[in-house]
Amino acid sequence: MTKPFSRVLIANRGEIAVRIIRTLRRLGIDSVVVFHEADRASPAVQQADQAVEIKGSTPVAAYLDAEQIIAAAKSTGSEAIHPGYGFLSENTAFARAVADAGIVFVGPTPDAIELMGDKIRARAFVESHGFPVAPSAIEDDDPSTFNERARAVGAPLLIKPSAGGGGKGMRIVRDLSLLDEEIERARSEGQRYFGDGRLYVERYVENPRHIEVQVMGDAHGNVIHLFERECSVQRRFQKIVEETPSPALTPELRVRICETAAGIARAAGYRNAGTVEFIYGNGEFYFLEMNTRLQVEHPVTEMVTGIDLVAEQLSVAAGRPLSVSQADVAVTGHAIEYRIYAESPAQGFTPTTGRVLRLGLPEGDGIRLDLGIAEGQRVTSAFDPMLAKLVVHGADRAEAIARADRALADFALLGCETNAEFLRRLNADEAFGRGDVHTGFLDANPQIAAEPELEPATLARLLATASLLTRPVRDAADAVPELHAAMGAWRN
Amino acid sequence: MRHLFKLDNQEHAVWLTWRDGRYFLLIGDSEQPVALEGAGGRDRLTVGNVTVPVLAAVDGDDIHIHVDGITRTLRYLDPIRHYAAHSGASVDDVILAPMPGTVVQAIVSPGQAVARGDTLVVIESMKLETAIKSPRDGVVETVHVSTGMTFDRSAPLVTLAPATGA
């Protein structure tokens, strides 16, 4: 098959830029990356065929500067721009500006980004097509009947300020006899925090799971799903571990949730890779939102289906039909992704910084490491703290977990603390082993984040290595005559 | 002679000696032969009769080590500087950043008297403001940061003049 483009610019950095370059190389497409000075030593800049420096008041600002990025695409003769995830990937104005410049945006139509980017509109769209959304009541629809409509949603329910965010002013109601009182309290909190007392109410799912479905659509009206991913293990509402298949779904539920996701994408005339996210609990699932881009955790889907999602994105962006039909998509084995962050789990997952002095990388059957940093590079607080993704594949979940244990133990990054040891403890946790997780799992199990005492043998190995590598310690040993040395050992 | 390494805020004393053509390490009252062989990539560390792979990097007085699936940083406490620290400026005099971040406001200035619990500097990290408070009564000697500055974890923020009389 001929290649869809001859040159593609990647408007991103870190591991995702490296991952996109890998597919471009495989397809024989020239790769161009844009980079801020802070990333000059990064693997993406080293591996791309061309790297164009962009500037910004902060490093992040450079990667958000549509004008410089489009200019770089033009000056390098790039035919398409792949936005990766984050940054400009779900920015309608950027997608339009790229198209206006005569360049292909590797993503959905601007209209689809706009629809799904507005959470209220997206929810209304999904509901109007008959797909499940969490039962809810919006005060603005008719303030005079709000309390009755809220009661009809049923317990447990969640009251949220319409103007809110960040969890402020949210109240969970489990006993409907307290509803009126709680609504008044939420209203006064909303007024205090946001200067706006308007509310809405939705069904609250206790200890919910986050399950999402990978979809892929082309410009010819074909939409397929590539099964689900379970992303329930989170900290601060950010995913840490994702896997497929979900340990929670029965075969019947899997069919229902995957077909629902494909149906939503089809109704939206969706083109590109996309992810439909659901909240799942008590055997029911509700639409949460749709992400109109490649997802961080897309590799687990690639590992079990053998389909290169970036290659499919490029192909449909070039106007070609999907290379696979729904019947071609089959799942083999089990895959789990572990996000390696520069952070200290024992200290409340606070970010860490440092220079990468040495890397030791896991390898072996079923191991994929998407790495965004190189030795010598500095980890700063300028960017998101995710450094790498370890993705393991096994014949079943137990084999994937066993392989991950080995790979996480082998992963070594010297010079900046990471969460790798925490991920290994999480991987060894009994409840995690049973797949018994929910979005509040880490908050409910703080012992996983706590750092255990070192084994005496490990402490001895650390001290022995440090002693043998410290010049003054070695010099002192070498300088002392053997007789004294022998005596020294017996002295206090 | 005895050497000290600091690990997770604890000091560990070791004594390395050379005899019979190999190194021995004394930790507490247990002495074992030790060896480190490098062959590119991971090194091989032997303690007693067990050999394991190890990856290490030395950065000044810091030794970063990955062994047995864990990574730790040990700091070599130079005997001379360590003695000086104990006789003069104590570690307690330097207030270090608990996490990387940005300075929202440096509250105190050099020469200013502060009481235990007084706010010295306000920092921002992960979109949260944190007040860095004085660990004891004293006088500010140096303020190492200014408003808007970014810093790494363990960067010195404020140094208090050495405590007197104690």
Tens digit of pLDDT for each residue in A110-148?
999 999 988 778 999 999 999 999 888 988 889 999 999
* Pair type for strands A104-105 and A80-82: parallel
Please indicate whether, in this complex, the C-beta atoms of A347 and B98 are within 8 angstroms of each other.
yes
Q: Give kind and range of the element (H or E) at residue B34.
A: strand B30-37
Q: How many domains does chain A have?
A: 4
Looking at the fold, whether A437 and A472 belong to one and the same domain comes out as no
b (16+ CB within 10 A) / e for A48-75 = bebbbebeeeebbebbbbbebbbebbee
pLDDT at B124: 80
Domains and CATH numbers, chain B: 2-82 (3.30.700.30), 91-160 (2.40.50.100)
Rounded to the nearest angstrom, the minimum Cα separation between A397 and chain B is: 22
Looking at the fold, whether A294 and A395 belong to one and the same domain comes out as yes
pLDDT at B51: 97
Looking at the fold, whether A187 and A252 belong to one and the same domain comes out as no
> What is the overall mean pLDDT for chain A?
93
Other beta carbons within 10 angstroms of residue A441's beta carbon come to: 22
Asked whether residue A118 is assigned to any structural domain, the reply reads: no
The CATH number of the domain holding residue A230 is 3.30.470.20
pLDDT at A210: 96
Taking the Cβ of residue A487 and every Cβ of chain B, the question of whether any pair is shorter than 8 Å is answered with no
Please indicate whether, in this complex, the C-beta atoms of B3 and A465 are within 8 angstroms of each other.
no
pLDDT at A491: 43
Looking at the fold, whether A243 and A358 belong to one and the same domain comes out as yes
What number of C-beta contacts closer than 8 Å exist between A and B? Answer: 168
List of chain A residues whose C-beta atoms are within 8 Å of the C-beta of residue B54: 461, 465
3-state secondary structure of A216: strand
Sequence-separated (6 or more) residues with CB below 8 Å from residue A348:
none
Preceding peptide of A132 cis, ω within 30°? no
Whether the per-residue pLDDT at B82 is higher than 60: the answer is no
Mean pLDDT of A413-421: 97
Preceding peptide of A245 cis, ω within 30°? yes
Please indicate whether, in this complex, the C-beta atoms of A466 and B66 are within 8 angstroms of each other.
no
Looking at the fold, whether A252 and A193 belong to one and the same domain comes out as no
Rounded to the nearest angstrom, the minimum Cα separation between A409 and chain B is: 4
Please indicate whether, in this complex, the C-beta atoms of B32 and A460 are within 8 angstroms of each other.
yes
**Domain range spanning residue A88?**
7-106
Rounded to the nearest angstrom, the minimum Cα separation between B49 and chain A is: 12
Other beta carbons within 10 angstroms of residue A340's beta carbon come to: 25
pLDDT at A316: 98
Please answer whether residues A44 and A18 qualify as being in contact, where contact means their C-beta atoms are separated by less than 8 angstroms.
yes
| Range with the poorest average pLDDT among A102-106, A390-394, A475-479 | A475-479
Asked whether residue A130 is assigned to any structural domain, the reply reads: no
Please indicate whether, in this complex, the C-beta atoms of A470 and B58 are within 8 angstroms of each other.
yes
Among A410, A454, A480, select the one facing B17 at the smallest CB separation.
A480
Whether the per-residue pLDDT at A451 is higher than 50: the answer is yes
Asked whether residue A124 is assigned to any structural domain, the reply reads: no
Looking at the fold, whether A403 and A476 belong to one and the same domain comes out as no
Give pairs for A35-40: CB < 8 Å, separation 24+: A36/A62, A36/A63, A38/A378, A38/A380, A38/A382, A38/A383, A39/A13, A39/A14
Please indicate whether, in this complex, the C-beta atoms of B57 and A486 are within 8 angstroms of each other.
no
Among B12, B34, B67, select the one facing A458 at the smallest CB separation.
B67
pLDDT at A2: 87
Please indicate whether, in this complex, the C-beta atoms of B52 and A461 are within 8 angstroms of each other.
yes
Asked whether residue A119 is assigned to any structural domain, the reply reads: no
Among B17, B69, B150, select the one facing A424 at the smallest CB separation.
B69
Q: Is B98 exposed, middle or buried (0-12, 13-18, 19+ CB in 10 A)?
A: middle
List of chain A residues whose C-beta atoms are within 8 Å of the C-beta of residue B23: 468, 477
pLDDT at B95: 86
Which domain-ending residue is among A66, A88, A106?
A: A106
The CATH number of the domain holding residue A191 is 3.30.1490.20
Looking at the fold, whether A77 and A13 belong to one and the same domain comes out as yes
Taking the Cβ of residue A480 and every Cβ of chain B, the question of whether any pair is shorter than 8 Å is answered with yes
Please indicate whether, in this complex, the C-beta atoms of A476 and B78 are within 8 angstroms of each other.
no
b (16+ CB within 10 A) / e for A11-33 = bbbbbbbbbbbebbeebebbbbb
| Range with the poorest average pLDDT among A3-12, A32-41, A126-135, B76-85 | B76-85
Tokens 């939409």 belong to A223
| Range with the poorest average pLDDT among A46-60, A128-142, B32-46, B52-66 | B32-46
pLDDT at B88: 46
Which domain-ending residue is among A86, A106, A126?
A: A106
Rounded to the nearest angstrom, the minimum Cα separation between A470 and chain B is: 8
* Nearest residue of A to residue B75, measured between CA atoms: A466
Asked whether residue A123 is assigned to any structural domain, the reply reads: no
> What is the overall mean pLDDT for chain B?
86
Whether the per-residue pLDDT at B125 is higher than 80: the answer is no
Token output for A49: 């065929």
* Nearest residue of B to residue A412, measured between CA atoms: B66
Mean pLDDT of A439-466: 96
Please indicate whether, in this complex, the C-beta atoms of A466 and B32 are within 8 angstroms of each other.
no
3-state secondary structure of A437: coil
Sequence-separated (6 or more) residues with CB below 8 Å from residue A386:
A14, A15, A296, A339, A340, A341, A372
Looking at the fold, whether A290 and A415 belong to one and the same domain comes out as yes
Sequence-separated (6 or more) residues with CB below 8 Å from residue B156:
B94, B95, B96, B97, B144
The CATH number of the domain holding residue A27 is 3.40.50.20
List of chain A residues whose C-beta atoms are within 8 Å of the C-beta of residue B14: 463, 467, 473
Among A353, A459, A480, select the one facing B153 at the smallest CB separation.
A353
pLDDT at B91: 57
Looking at the fold, whether A164 and A16 belong to one and the same domain comes out as no
Asked whether residue A60 is assigned to any structural domain, the reply reads: yes
Taking the Cβ of residue A465 and every Cβ of chain B, the question of whether any pair is shorter than 8 Å is answered with yes
Looking at the fold, whether A199 and A214 belong to one and the same domain comes out as no
Mean pLDDT of A389-416: 98
Please indicate whether, in this complex, the C-beta atoms of A458 and B54 are within 8 angstroms of each other.
no
3-state secondary structure of A154: coil
Please indicate whether, in this complex, the C-beta atoms of A467 and B16 are within 8 angstroms of each other.
yes
Looking at the fold, whether A241 and A347 belong to one and the same domain comes out as yes
In which band, very low, low, confident or very high, does the pLDDT at A238 lie, cut at 50, 70 and 90? confident
* Pair type for strands A367-371 and B101-106: unpaired
Among B1, B65, B98, select the one facing A462 at the smallest CB separation.
B65
Among A353, A466, A477, select the one facing B17 at the smallest CB separation.
A477
Other beta carbons within 10 angstroms of residue A157's beta carbon come to: 24
Among B64, B72, B150, select the one facing A415 at the smallest CB separation.
B64
Alpha carbon separation from A231 to A34, A162, A261, A303 (Å, rounded): 30, 27, 16, 16
- Could you give the dihedral angle defined by the CA atoms of residues A194, A196, A197 and A198, in that order, rounded to the nearest 10 degrees? -120
From the list A162, A167, A168, A275, the residue with the least C-alpha distance to A217 is A275
Alpha carbon separation from A168 to A183, A187, A203, B125, B163 (Å, rounded): 14, 11, 18, 19, 44
pLDDT at A492: 39
pLDDT in tens, A215-226: 999 999 999 999
Separation CA B118–CA A295 (nearest Å) = 46
Please answer whether residues A210 and A231 qualify as being in contact, where contact means their C-beta atoms are separated by less than 8 angstroms.
yes
| Range with the poorest average pLDDT among A193-197, A211-215, A251-255, B137-141 | A193-197
- Return residues 393-432 of A near B (CB < 8 Å): 408-410, 412-415, 417-418, 420-421, 424
pLDDT in tens, A130-140: 999 988 898 88
Which of the two residues, A205 and A5, has the higher pLDDT score? A5
pLDDT at A269: 96
- A-interface mutation test, from B66, B76, B78, B127, most A Cβ less than 10 A away: B66
Please indicate whether, in this complex, the C-beta atoms of A473 and B45 are within 8 angstroms of each other.
no
From the list A428, A422, A416, the residue with the least C-alpha distance to A446 is A422
In which band, very low, low, confident or very high, does the pLDDT at A480 lie, cut at 50, 70 and 90? low
Asked whether residue A113 is assigned to any structural domain, the reply reads: no
Separation CA A373–CA B59 (nearest Å) = 19
Which domain-ending residue is among A166, A187, A203?
A: A203
Please indicate whether, in this complex, the C-beta atoms of A360 and B101 are within 8 angstroms of each other.
no
Please answer whether residues B146 and B130 qualify as being in contact, where contact means their C-beta atoms are separated by less than 8 angstroms.
no
Give pairs for A21-27: CB < 8 Å, separation 24+: A21/A47, A21/A48, A23/A308, A23/A310, A23/A311, A23/A314, A26/A308, A26/A311, A27/A3, A27/A311, A27/A314
Mean pLDDT of B90-117: 84
* Cα-trace Rg, chain B: 21
Please answer whether residues A329 and A305 qualify as being in contact, where contact means their C-beta atoms are separated by less than 8 angstroms.
yes
Q: What is the ipTM of this complex?
A: 0.87
Separation CA A18–CA A43 (nearest Å) = 7
Share of chain A above pLDDT 70, in %: 96
A309-317 and A14-26 helices cross at what angle (nearest 10)?
70
List of chain A residues whose C-beta atoms are within 8 Å of the C-beta of residue B50: 457
Looking at the fold, whether A393 and A356 belong to one and the same domain comes out as yes
Phi/psi of residue A41, nearest 5 degrees: -90, 10
pLDDT at B134: 87
Mean pLDDT of A238-259: 97
Asked whether residue A114 is assigned to any structural domain, the reply reads: no
Query: What's the number of CA atoms in the CB half-sphere (13 Å) around residue A156?
Result: 12
Taking the Cβ of residue A360 and every Cβ of chain B, the question of whether any pair is shorter than 8 Å is answered with yes
Rounded to the nearest angstrom, the minimum Cα separation between A14 and chain B is: 20
Separation CA A407–CA A365 (nearest Å) = 10
